[in-house]
Amino acid sequence: MVIHSAEFIASFPNVQSCPKDGLPEFAFIGRSNVGKSSLLNLLTGRKSLAKVSSTPGKTQLLNYFLINKKWYLVDLPGYGYARLSKEKIKGLANMVNGYFSQRKSLTCAFVLIDANLPPTKIDLTFIEELGSQKVPLALIFTKADKSGKMTVEKNIAAMMEALSATWPVLPSHIVTSSEKRLGRDEVMAAIETLI
Ligand code: GTP
Ligand code: MG
């Protein structure tokens, strides 16, 4: 897919205020610091469309980007960031839950997972929750450049094994590295087939 235009539209504080034009949209979510903003910049080919943070937990709103005037890319706040106040974490969780339970134009949620770690409870719990709400989802493994291929493959296999306990059909997955610019075409191809 060629990106002709990628514009930041706005950041919304709740699902009620999100765009009402019904264009298809693709949400990116994952543990804080997993590399969401970096991946969005890789996908759109714009260096700093989404803010890459050295301090985790910077994304605290529903951030909308309009791509080729046809579909939205949505950068969601990360989960599992402990250094925010309890109240703030609860507020973010409510916002994200509201988004997933009510957003009708959500075509697919891409859940980002650090390819360098064995399955974490927080990722598994989040994926199970989305699954139980019947949110269409795919997995994106990030930062694959940081470990050897064997380690990445082992971590992915372990994640699929853990999910297979509750998922009759496993979600599809793509391996990426924003650093090495890997996996971009695969993610874009997935989006293109779904639009
Ligand atoms: P929050 O919005 O704060 O939750 O973080 P995020 O998920 O948007 O992550 P972000 O893209 O800001 O990246 C977090 C850190 O990981 C930054 O220091 C990035 O430079 C680094 N990073 C992101 N992608 C990659 C990657 O593919 N490889 C490596 N080695 N580092 C990466
Ligand atoms: Mg971010």
pLDDT in tens, 49-75: 766 555 555 668 898 999 999 999 999
Q: Is the CB of 32 within 6 Å of ligand 1?
A: yes
Side chain identity at 7, as an amino acid letter?
A: E
* Ligand 2 center from residue 35 Cα (angstroms): 7
The SS3 of residue 119 is coil
- Which pLDDT does position 82 carry in this prediction? 64
- Which pLDDT does position 54 carry in this prediction? 53
Helix axes 184-194, 36-44, angle to 10 degrees: 80
Query: Which residues does the chain have with pLDDT short of 70?
Result: 50-59, 82
Strands (E), 14-146: 25-30, 62-67, 71-75, 106-114, 137-142
Q: Is the CB of 183 within 6 Å of ligand 1?
A: no
Among protein residues, the one with the nearest Cα to ligand 1's atom 16 is 35
In whole angstroms, what is the distance from residue 70 CA to residue 97 CA? 25
The SS3 of residue 1 is coil
Instruction: Please give the model's pTM, rounded to 2 decimal places.
Output: 0.93
- Which pLDDT does position 137 carry in this prediction? 95
Q: Which residues face 74 on adjacent strands?
A: 27, 64
- Count the neighbouring beta carbons within 10 Å of the beta carbon of residue 69: 9
In whole angstroms, what is the distance from residue 26 CA to residue 16 CA? 17
